[in-house]
Every structure is written in C-alpha cells, then in structure tokens.
Chains A and B, each alone.
Chain A
Amino acid sequence: MPDKIRISLTVNGVGHDVLVEPRMLLVDFLRDELQLTGTHAGCEQGVCGACTVLLDGETTRSCLLFAAQLDGSSVRTVESLARPDGSLHPIQRAFTENHGLQCGFCTPGMLMAACELLEHTPLPEPEDVKDALSGNLCRCTGYQNIVRSVCAAGRVLATAENGSHPASETAETTGASA
C-alpha cells in the first residue's frame, strides 16, 4: 500500500490536517473519516449526483475526487446548511414546505446543487432549475416539487438580500393543477 498523503483542508469551516490513503475518495473521506454521513454515495461514477458537495464554492461529485487532491481546499456539505442553532437554510425550508423530497437519499446532493444555482441565478425559472439539476437523479419525486422548491427558495433568498427577513414561508401556493 503506498504511503499515506498529508492534506490540510477545511470542511464546513473546520480545519483538518490529516493523512489519507491516496485512493480514498472524497465521499468516503467525508463519511468514514469525518463521520459526515449526510453526503451519500449513489453510483460511484458521477452519474446520480447524490454525493454532490461544494468544493471552493462549486458543485463537485465527491465520488469522483480523491481526498488527496484536496490539499488547501474548502469543502461544504449538507451538514453546513442549517445554522448551528438548528434553524434551516431557506433552501432546506423550501424543500420541506414544497414536499421536494420523499426518501431523502438524493436530497443532500439536490440541496448543494441548488445552492450553486441560486448563487449564480438568484431567481431561476423552472427550466433553469431543471438544467442545473439535470445531473442529480431522484427516483421518488418526479422532480416537479424539487423544481418548485428551488424556485421558492430563490424568491426567499432574493427577498432577504433586499433587506427583509428570509424566514417567511417558502411554500408555493398550491392550486388544483399543482
């Protein structure tokens, strides 16, 4: 077995100075070494998007990267979204208010991908959301409520940027033809 490699990286704002096996994937590093089990391995080949994390602010498949590549990087996972007091991020709130998840396995990846989208496109149209999430598979929801969730979160975040409080409800009005 080749020697372990020393890396320094920040995960969810916490610095780690660790030795890792050269072949250890980022997703396994997060789950097995840091016990951040909110990131899920769904296909190990970058297709399903369940393992999506933010690497220096950009979405990345944590199943396609070795931890050893990440010296000096900053990683954000789903565990970083809620505030330390447990209050939810507007994107998380929008997902629960719009029933944007069922089994929840794909959800952390969806949330992180949505974070990146809303960073660049604060008020996305449904088609923008579909494009941005097209690399994240969900088997439960049929995506419609995920798209609604992300659009709703965008509106809340945009309102917050404009000075009002983001705590307002993010649920979309549901009509008969939801």
Chain B
Amino acid sequence: MTATAEPSVNEFGQARKRKEDARLISGRTRWTDNLTLPGMVHLAVLRSPVAHATITSIDVGAAKQAPGVTAVFTGRDLADEQGSLPCAWPISPDMVAPQAPSLAVDRVNFAGEAVAVVVARSAAEAHDALELIDVDYDDLPVVLDMEAALADGADLVHPELGTNRSALWAFDSAEVGTGGDVEEAIRGARDNGVVVKRRFRQQRLIPAFMEPRSVVMDPTGEQMTLWSATQIPHVLRVMIAMTLGVPEHKVRVIAPDVGGGFGGKLQVTPEEIITFLVARRLGKPVKWTEGRSESLVSGHHGRDQIQDLTICANRDGTVTGLKVELLADMGAYLRLVTPGVPILGAFMYNAIYKIPAYHFACTNVFTDKTPTDAYRGAGRPEATFAIERMMDELAAELGMEPLELREKNWIKHEEFPYTTISTLTYDSGNYEAATARAKELFDYDGLRAEQQRRRAANDPVQLGIGISTFTEMCGLAPSRVLGSLSYGAGGWEHAAIRMLPTGKVEVVTGSSPHGQGHETAWSQIVSDQLGVAFDDVEVLHGDTQSSHKGMDSYGSRSLTVGGIAVVKAAEKVVEKARKVAAHMLEASEDDLEYDRGRFTVRGTDKGTTVADVALAVFAAHDLPEGVEPSLDSDATFDPENFSFPHGTHLCATEVDTETGEVSIRSYASVDDVGTVVNPLIVDGQIHGGLAQGIAQALYEEAVYDEAGTLVTGTLADYLVPSAVDLPHFTTDRTETPSTTNPLGVKGVGEAGTIASTPAVVNAIIDAVRHLGVRDVEMPCSPQTVWRAINAARGQVKSTSEGSTETAAGGGLGSIDSQHGGAR
C-alpha cells in the first residue's frame, strides 16, 4: 500500500505553490496545438478582407490542385449542415437576431469573417492554397457608427432584419417598484440640487489571450473527440449537439491546457464548428490553429458602448437619482452571450451606493464589425467605470471631497444584507474598512497635500488622485435568476469525489481552468475536508469523458460555485464514511465526531480515518446492512445568490500638461473577496486584473478604419502592455466573509479589471481638472490627453450639463415588472 503523506495543519488560507506549475515551467504542456494524431491534416481559413459585401462567386479550382491539398470547402458546401451559431442569451422576447453561419454563404458582414477553408497535409500548404482561392465580392454599404446605424433610413447590416436595432432592454425602479421615478428626481434636482450629465465611450477591446485558439477534431472513434482551446468544454459539447444535430453522447470535448481566456474563449466559435464538420466529412483528424492576426480580427471583441448618464443629487451630496442610457455594439452577429453582456451591467450602475431612483435602458446595435461578447468583467467594468466617473464629476460639481461624497452615499457595513434599487441583495461588505486601509497604504492625505503644492506652483507635471470604490456581482450562478434574465442555461456547478482504495482522492470538477490554478485550490479544499494530504488529491477537469458535467469557468464563478460543489461532494463522502466508520468502531453514528478526515468515538481514543474507511469499503467484506461499497459522491451546487466582492482602489497619476503623457506614480488596492483559499493565487488574479483594467484606461483599443478594416490587427498595433508599461501594485485585502456559501468566499477573477479603469481615468482628470478638463476619452494616450487639455484651455466650461445630448432609445421597460430583474 502506498504511503500517504500526512496532511498539513490547515490548507485553507495557505499560499501553496501551484500544482499546475511543474508542467508549465518545464515545457511539458498540453496545448491543443501540441497534438499530433495519425493521419491528421491541417485546416486554414480564408477570411473576408471587406466588411460588408455580397459573395458573388468563389473559385476554388486552383486551390484544390495545389500541392498537398486534400479538400477545399466554401460556405455553400457546408450550408446544409452548419446551422446557425448559437446565441444563448436572447435578452428580450422581441430581440432580432440574424442567422449566423460559421462559414459565410452569400454575404460577409465583417472583415475577418470566414468564407472558405483549405485542408492540406501541412498547415503551410493549407495557407499557401488560400492564396489561390478567388472570391468575388460585391461591396455593400458599411455600417460602423452606432448612432448612424439607428437613424431612419440607415444602411442595414442585415437587410432581412429590417433594422440595425437588435433589442432594447430597460429597467425602471418606479415601474418595478423598487424605487422612485428618475425623471421626477432629475426635475427636483434641477430646482433644488445638482444634475450632472455625461457621455462616456467604452472603447472596443480585444481579450488577447496569449495562446492562440486551436481546434483538433478526431472523427475516427465511436465518440468523435474535439480538443479546443476553450473555457467551456461542457457548454461546447451541448451546443455542438444542438447546433449540428449530432447525438450528444457521440461527442467528447476536451479542453487540455488552455492559455488564458478572459472571456475570449467563452464562445462556440465558427472554427470549432467548421473543423468538426470538415473532419467528419473527411473521416480523418483535422487541426486548425490560428495566427495572431486571425485571432485579433475574428475572435470576439469586448466592451464598445456609448454611455449617457445623468446623476442628480441634493446640495449636500445625497444622490437622488441615476439615469443610464446605453448603446451597445453587438458587431455583426450575436455570439454565445453577446446581447447579455451590457445587461450584466444593468445591476451594477448603482454600485455600492444607496440610489433612490434608477432608470437603465440599453439598445443593442448591429454594425459591420467583429462580434462582441464577454471580456473580463463583461458589462460590469463598463458600469463601474461610468458610476465611478460620475461620482467624481458630481463631487467636482458640488465642490466636495470625492471620497466623502462616496462615503455619504455608500451602504454602511451595518446595513448588510442590503437590497439595492436594481433588485440585488448584497449579502455582505465593509466599504469603510477597505477604504480606510487603502487610504493608509496609498498615503492619501500626503498625496492630496502634494497635489495642492504642485497645483499652486503651476508645475507642468500635475498630480492627480483617482478613486474607485467598487463592487461587482459575480460567481455567475443562481439558475433561477439567470432564468429570469432569459439566459439560456443554469448557473449550477458539478463536482464529484472518488475515494481510491489507497486513500488517495480524485476530484472531478465541472469548472474549466485556463490559468487560474483550480487544481491547487480544489486540492487545498479537499485536503481540509477529507483530511488527506494536498499531494494526494488529483483534480480532473476539462474533458467531458472524465468530468462529464459542468458549466465551466467564466464570470468569476469557479470557486464560489464549483469550489462549493466540491465541498458539498466531500460532505457526502464523509456522510457515507460515517456509517462504515461507526460499524468498524462498533459505535453509534451519533457518538462519532468528525474532524478533518478522522472519526473518533466521543469520549474515547478509538478512531479511524476516511482513508481507512475507503480501504474497508474497497474490500467490502464487512459493511453494515444495506450500505453500498462506495464512498464516491457527487454534488451539483446552485447558489442562492451572486457573490459581491468589493474594494477601494486608489491611483496617483502624473500628467505632463505640456505633452499629455501620463505615468502612474502609485497604485494601491484593497480588495475584499471574502475568505481566501490561497493568497498567492488571489494576489495573482488581482494583479492580472489590474493590468487589464489599466490597459483599457491607457493603451488598448480595437480601431477600425472607415472601410471597416481592423487596423489594430497585430500585437504591434494593439497595445497589450509589457512589464515596463505597468506600475508597481500595492495590494492588500480585507476579509468580510460571504454569508451565502459555506466557505465564505467571493469571486476574484474580474475584480481588478472592473475596479482599476475608473481609478486611472479619474486620476488623470483629477490632475487636469483645474485646467477645465472634464473628460478624456479612453485610451488616454498622450495625444488624447494633450488634446483634452488644449481644448479645455480654449473653452473652459463651467456648466454641469454635458454638451452632448443623449441619443439612446430609453423608454419602455421590457423587463417583467411582476418578476423584477434579478431579485
């Protein structure tokens, strides 16, 4: 029998080195692109160079004759089989959605859309042959601007839909009954308070995971096996079955090592469907691996909204109402959760504040651009940015200290649980504690004093302080709430525990890690629950054959949903073991005490362990009557509520008023993600999140030219920050345990991204507000900042009303007032 290592004292909270690392640092990784199967051929995709056109003809004759080429397929060849790519979140009953072929048939609607594929012996030969395919395009008018797209008589992305408006989704606190009427609040404030109106632009971003997407499909077994660099192997299997009519039990999906996702691999991609169909046709394994430019132009993008906000308040700073009107760019198609992304933000504009009247309306718009979908935070960064910017604008208008304004309006720690105007119930939080700690780490008062000195001295390099006191809803979960939002699936997660005869443990999880470290964290959890050593736990994931059931990883849900499922499964193992242990110890179950893997008979030194019970169950020679010889257990956990991490982020920027250059001088964040399983991993998630949020503020934007061509189609043009572009982060935590799960944990994956963008932009504006600057569009490049400063110097405005009128189609709610939003 194998010796089993002694469990350490308590795994929960330990900064365990990750189990995943050994293979990742030694080159023993298992990326999809590493796979080579016997007889495998390679697929390459021809993409449309134009944004909107009718395909009049495709000549593939020369390509078929090219060296090494096995086959060439066009959309017409696959038209009968390919179905329409799934959209799982029809946000309203009257939402309009176009057909979404994986391979374009008659028309292309964005530059980068797949129009034909070549299969060849080698990837190089497949790419060579792409150049021999001759496609005739008949150009159509290109729709790029959302407001123009909504105008009467606008050119249409999908003429058959008769409109570029996909859906209008609205929430109104007066209609739902959770609060007052926002128009009334605004009228009141005009007479007797302040009204601030602003327009913000959430530029289009690209997830830019480091591992390019790759798909391998082996059709030769009884189960056809699809490997994909995906965040969602389980969802993908269901969607392949539903989209293609393939029997689900004949499909196995594997997500091996996956190199980052950030929402970008939360998708059912055209290339997965195409590779599946082509391999099935050819009867041999097919591999597709994208190049970086393919990835940037055809993988889904994120953000891309125009936000019109009106906030009103009493003169003492008490916020009396908030009105939010959005235009959200869907791009050319509705991918898996495209329409729902801005709606996730609907519940977050009120943020940590007690706002008595709230109206939200979002108009989803089609354009001839790459489809948008989830990108780290998905709807919540946009909301947090807008409300945190508005709080600073309101503070400036009132002449109040921006932190004091926030404190005046935020939910006090003794007020939890607190039901917000947008119907969510925040279970826990302590904004005071996080803010106090952040101020201390940041030296808030010292920096404010320095700011005053530099302002008084008219220093050409001005100091600004940006604040973001954020919360977010994550742990995307409660199935009934997702159902009320018309989401096409539940939000549960599955886990199973297999007790092996030698006392080792296999944990099967439906979460699907792609860099987070679930193998480590789940091992820590199980080690504590079952009293087995950390190294004696193996975590199996990302393969529908071993982990047959799951809802995968996104929305900071893995620990708060999947991790709790593991706890629940472990509890069942213990309950099964208890019966056998009682029998072995000749004691009553009621007399057994259990602690971390050990059963003892109360008041005696008699005892046994789960591991010993596992061996006894394996032998099964002497089990109590009616007891099945197995401790294996599984659990499916569906939480009652979301998870609400929060925190206070403070950023100090130095802005050169002569060049517009911004440098982040210091950044301090205090996050409250509840209790922490592994602080090393949590800090890493925060750091990475900060990097992406700061990158939105300063560097990144997917830019299109007037013809609809993505001009940031390489990593030389799309500015993913490098080590020299980011500041040192000073991070700390407060711990207010969640009351809605047994571990007290909250999500952490998206927090840093959600919180940081407004902190940076607020800091930039704070540095130059005295020059008359009220906004700088993201990304805040030197040129943009310089222009904002100079525009302000030319025409300094003092009015609180923004110059741009709203154009979004606010109005009637499509939400069912009987059932509310997400109560």
Is B25 a contact partner of A107 (Cβ separation < 8 A)?
Answer: yes
Q: Judge whether A123 is part of the interface by a CB distance below 8 angstroms.
A: no
How many residues of B are in contact with the other chain, CB < 8 A? 61
Given the known inter-chain contacts A96-B18, A103-B211, please indicate yes or no for A139 contacting B723, CB distance below 8 A: no
Tell me if A160 counts as interface (CB < 8 A to partner B).
Answer: no
Q: In the complex, what's the smallest C-beta–C-beta distance from A130 to chain B, in angstroms?
A: 4
Contact B515 A78 (CB under 8 A): no
Is B292 close to A, CB under 8 A? yes
- Residues of chain A within 8 A (CB-CB) of B162 are none
| Residue in A43, A133, A145 whose Cβ sees the most chain B Cβ within 10 Å | A43
Query: A95–B34 contact, CB under 8 A?
Result: no
Q: Looking across the interface, which residue of chain B has its beta carbon closest to that of A104? A: B24
Q: At the interface with chain B, which of A54-62, A64-72, A170-178?
A: A170-178
Complex interface: chain A residues within 8 A of B728 (CB):
126, 144
Say what secondary structure dominates the interface of chain A.
loop
Shortest Cβ distance from A61 into chain B, in angstroms?
A: 12
B20 close to A104 (CB less than 8 A) = yes
Kindly provide the distance from the CB of A137 to the nearest chain B CB, expressed in whole angstroms. 5
Nearest A residue (CB) for B729: A144
Q: Are A146 and B15 in contact, CB atoms less than 8 angstroms apart? A: no
When the two chains form their complex, are residues A45 and B292 in contact, meaning their CB atoms are under 8 A apart?
Answer: yes
Is A23 positioned at the interface, with any CB of B under 8 Å from its CB? Answer: yes
Alpha-carbon distance between A166 and B209 when the two chains are bound, in angstroms: 34
* Binary interface encoding of chain A residues 127-158 relative to chain B, with 1 for a CB under 8 A from any of its CBs, else 0: 00111011111111111111100000000000
Query: Are B724 and A130 in touch, CB under 8 angstroms?
Result: yes
Instruction: Sample 8 A-B pairs with CB under 8 A, ordered by A number.
Output: A37-B34, A47-B292, A101-B21, A139-B208, A142-B729, A142-B752, A145-B684, A177-B730
Q: Distance in Å from the Cβ of B621 to the closest Cβ of chain A?
A: 40
Q: Are A42 and B212 closer than 8 Å at their CB atoms?
A: yes
B687 touches A144 (CB 8 A): yes
Per-residue 0/1 for B716-752: is the Cβ within 8 Å of any A Cβ (1 yes, 0 no)? 1000101110101111100000000000000000001
Closest to B681 in A: A99
Within 8 A of A (CB), among B240-297: 257-260, 262, 291-292
Against A, the Cβ 8 Å flags (1 = close, 0 = not) of B202-227 are 00000011111000000000000000
Chain B CB within 10 A, most for which of A92, A99, A133 = A99
- Which among B210, B259, B681 has the highest number of chain A CB atoms within 10 Å? B210
**Given the complex of chains A and B, what is the CA–CA distance between A82 and B67 in angstroms?**
41
> Are A137 and B731 touching (Cβ within 8 A)?
no
Interchain nearest-CB distance for A90 vs B (Å): 12
B690 at the interface (CB under 8 A from A): yes
Q: CB of B683 within 8 A of chain A?
A: yes
Q: How far is the CA of A88 from the CA of B33 in the complex (A)?
A: 25
CA distance in complex: A96, B720 (Å)? 24
B318 interface hit (Cβ, 8 Å) = no
How far apart are the CA atoms of A178 and B683 in the complex, in Å? 8
Nearest CB of chain A from residue B683's CB, rounded to whole Å: 6
> How many whole Å from A167's CB to the nearest CB in chain B?
15
If the complex has contacts A23-B124, A45-B716, A102-B688, are A135 and B722 also in contact, measured as CB distance less than 8 A? yes
> For residues 73 through 89 of chain A, which have their beta carbon under 8 Å from a beta carbon of chain B?
77-79, 81-82, 88
Query: Which of B21, B23, B291, B715 contacts A95, CB < 8 Å?
Result: B21
Residues A99 and B515 in contact in the complex (CB < 8 Å), given A130-B724, A135-B722, A177-B730: no
Give the shortest distance, in Å, between B40 (CB) and chain A (any CB).
12
Which B residues, 85 to 122, have Cβ-Cβ distances below 8 Å to chain A? none
B517 at the interface (CB under 8 A from A): yes
Determine if A106 is an interface residue (Cβ-Cβ < 8 Å).
yes
CB-CB under 8 A for A145 and B687, given A47-B715, A135-B722, A139-B262: yes
Do A178 and B24 contact each other (CB < 8 Å), given the known contacts A96-B18, A130-B723?
Answer: no
In the complex, whether B27 has a CB less than 8 A from a CB of chain A is yes
In this complex, how many residues of chain A approach chain B with their Cβ under 8 Å: the count is 61
Within the complex, the shortest CB–CB distance from B61 to chain A, in Å, comes to 21
A106–B722 Cα gap in the complex (Å)?
12
Kindly identify which residue among A103, A108, A145 contacts B514, using a CB–CB cutoff of 8 Å: A103
Q: Roughly how many angstroms separate A136 CA and B715 CA in the complex, as a whole number?
A: 11
With A134-B724, A139-B688 as contacts: A102 and B516 at CB distance below 8 Å: yes
Determine if B314 is an interface residue (Cβ-Cβ < 8 Å). no
A116 within 8 A of B: no
Residues of A contacting B804 in the complex (Cβ-Cβ under 8 angstroms) = none
Cβ A108 vs Cβ B27 within 8 A:
yes
In the complex, the chain B residue whose C-beta lies closest to that of A48 is: B715
Enumerate chain B residues within 8 angstroms of A177, measured Cβ to Cβ: 441, 668, 730-732
Nearest Cβ in chain A — how far from B20, in angstroms?
7
Decide if B819 is an interface residue (CB 8 Å cutoff).
no
Chain A positions within 8 Å of B20 at CB level? 104
CB within 8 A of B210: which of A106, A126, A144, A174?
A106
Find out whether the CB atom of B515 lies under 8 angstroms from the CB atom of A129: no
Interface presence of A105 (CB below 8 A): yes
Q: Is the CB of A147 within 8 A of B515?
A: no
For B668, the chain A residues whose CB sits under 8 A away are 177
Supposing A137-B715, A143-B723 touch, asked if A97 and B17 sit within 8 A by C-beta, the answer is yes
Q: A45-B714, A78-B27, A104-B25 are in contact. List 4 more A-B contacts (CB 8 A).
A: A105-B31, A105-B210, A105-B259, A174-B15
How close is B823's CB to chain A, nearest CB, in angstroms? 36
Which among A41, A42, A97, A103 has the highest number of chain B CB atoms within 10 Å? A103
Roughly how many angstroms separate A103 CA and B211 CA in the complex, as a whole number? 9
Is B74 interfacial (CB 8 A cutoff)? no
A102 to B689, CA, bound (A): 12
Q: Which of A48, A107, A142, A174 contacts B691 (CB 8 A)?
A: A142
| Interface residue B799 (Cβ < 8 Å from any Cβ of A) | no
* Chain A nearest Cβ from B114, distance in angstroms: 19
Determine the chain B residues whose CB is within 8 A of the CB of A108 once the complex forms.
Answer: 25, 27
Q: CA separation between A142 and B67, bound complex, in Å? A: 44
Contact A96 B22 (CB under 8 A): yes
B458 at interface, CB cutoff 8 A:
no
Minimal Cβ-Cβ distance residue in B for A93: B25
Report chain B residues within 8 Å CB of A174.
15, 679-680, 683
Chain A residue at smallest Cβ distance from B516? A102
Residues on B with beta carbons closer than 8 Å to the beta carbon of A131: 724
Task: Give residues 642-663 of B contacting A (CB, 8 Å).
Answer: none
User: Is B26 interfacial (CB 8 A cutoff)?
Assistant: yes
Contacts of B722 in A (CB 8 A): 133-137, 143
Decide: B28 and A38 in contact? CB cutoff 8 A: yes
* A107 touching B24 in the complex, CB below 8 Å, given contacts A43-B715, A44-B292, A133-B723: yes
A23 to B723, CA, bound (A): 32
Residues facing A in B609-645 (CB within 8 A) are none
Rounded to whole Å, the gap between the CB of B782 and the closest CB of chain A is: 18
Contact of A102 among B517, B714, B731 (CB under 8 A): B517
Q: Quick check: is B54 within 8 A (CB to CB) of the other chain? A: no
Q: Which residues of A contact B731 (CB under 8 A)?
A: 177-178
B692: A residues at CB distance < 8 A: 139
Shortest beta-carbon distance from B582 to chain A in Å:
42
Closest A residue to B730 by beta carbon equals A177
Chain B nearest CB from A72 CB (Å) reads 24
For the complex, what is the distance from the CA of A122 to the CA of B230, rounded to whole Å? 39
Contact partners of B292 in chain A: CB under 8 A? 42-45, 47-48
Within 8 Å of chain A (Cβ to Cβ): is B423?
no
CB distance from A87 to the nearest CB of B (A): 11
Q: Given the complex, which residues of A lie within 8 Å of B688, measured CB to CB?
A: 102, 139-142
A residues in contact with B690, CB < 8 Å: 142
Alpha-carbon separation in the docked complex, A172 to B338 (Å): 42
| A72 to B262 Cα, complex, angstroms | 42
A40 to chain B, nearest CB (A): 7
A52 at interface by CB-CB < 8 Å: no
User: Using a CB-CB cutoff of 8 Å, which residues 676-720 of chain B contact chain A?
Assistant: 679-681, 683-684, 687-692, 714-716, 720
Q: Are A139 and B210 in contact (CB under 8 A)?
A: yes
The answer on a CB contact under 8 Å between A143 and B726 is yes
- A-contacting residues, B530-581, CB 8 Å: none
> Nearest CB to that of A81 among chain B residues?
B26
Residue from the set B15, B24, B514, B681 with the largest chain A CB neighbour count within 10 Å: B24
Q: Which residue of A lies closest to B691 (CB)?
A: A142
